[in-house]
Amino acid sequence: MATLSEKLFERNQQDEVQPAAAYEVPMIRTLMNRSDWLTLIALALIWGAAFLFISVAVHEVAPLTYVWLRLTTAAAAMWLFLWWRGESAGLPRQVWGSILVLALFNNAIPFVLFGWGQTHIASGLAAILNATTPIWGVVVAHLFTQDEKLSGRKLAGVVLGFAGVTVMIGPALLGSLGSNVLAQLACVAAALCYAFAGVWARRYRGMGLSPVSVTTGQLTAGALVMLPLALLVDRPWLEALPSLKAVGAIAALAVVCSAFAYILYFRLIDRAGATNALLVTLLVPPVAIFLGSLVLHEVIEPRDFAGLALIALGLAAIDGRLIKALSIGPARQAA
């Protein structure tokens, strides 16, 4: 039988590992309500515009420096927000290693890959490739979780999604590995990073960490990681000062598309689950394509739309609700 001192030691250990229960973990809803759908649409508009802002920023600021500025500004905005509310991040020392992993796969690596990729390809095409994130998510979840294994329906969705990517990249890949092909592969790799991050972030819900805390932690860790890389590789002090347009684009990416959007995103995951939240990647491409053609006069090729259609079918198969709705209709008519 454990002694009184041993019980006290175990209780102190639990108090250190587990954060204070300042954030009540809500019940996940399988079907989204009106508030969830409004959040999803808001995220689609914000992240669709993000691809436009990235194209503007990386044509004047080197990719590593752009990512460092974006993450640093976003982290500063989050800390100011917490200070204004009189709160702390509420992140125990033990979780910062985990937060660093999240920052690498959810911020630093994909931001750099998309930033470099969009120096060679259109913002709309980058957004379409970003829509493969939930396709990759199914594969990653199958490999690294016990409760999200592949089913026949999910496997069909993965095959359709990869077929969409093949339609978009395939012809050029068979010809030669030019800069455009490498840029598209970089965007696909970034989407894979987001999928790993989504599976990794499942742990924070059980810890009772709020979306604000997770957002603040990952942006801070990402900014610290990018600082030495930007200084050593880009040497930004040797570059010309960016225009006000580029500075404004980076500020919008930091405050709106990173800080504010990630709070919405993690909150949506808490309330409607990761599967519902990842549907935003299907809504982002139309917004990005429209803004890219309107502002940057970008042109998307027909095969890119065909690839997007296959990706959309893959996501519909993975989600399952559309298939279920279509099957219920004939059943009701037969009854």
- pLDDT recorded at residue 66: 93
Model pTM score = 0.77
CB under 8 A, 24+ apart: contacts of 150-158: 153/317, 153/318, 153/320, 153/323, 154/317, 154/318, 156/314, 156/317, 157/313, 157/314, 157/315, 157/316, 157/317, 157/318, 158/314, 158/318
Measured between alpha carbons, how far is 284 from 315 in angstroms, rounded to an integer? 13
CA 69 to chain CA centroid, nearest Å = 18
Regions of the chain where pLDDT drops below 50: 1, 4-21, 174, 176
Measure the N-to-C terminal CA separation of the chain; round to a whole number of Å: 64
- pLDDT recorded at residue 16: 42
- pLDDT recorded at residue 29: 54
- pLDDT recorded at residue 20: 45
Percent of the chain whose pLDDT exceeds 90: 29
Contact 51, 131 (CB under 8 A): no
- pLDDT recorded at residue 90: 82
- pLDDT recorded at residue 151: 73
Measured between alpha carbons, how far is 223 from 104 in angstroms, rounded to an integer? 10
* Token pair belonging to 235: 């040497």
Measured between alpha carbons, how far is 330 from 305 in angstroms, rounded to an integer? 30
* Token pair belonging to 14: 């639990």
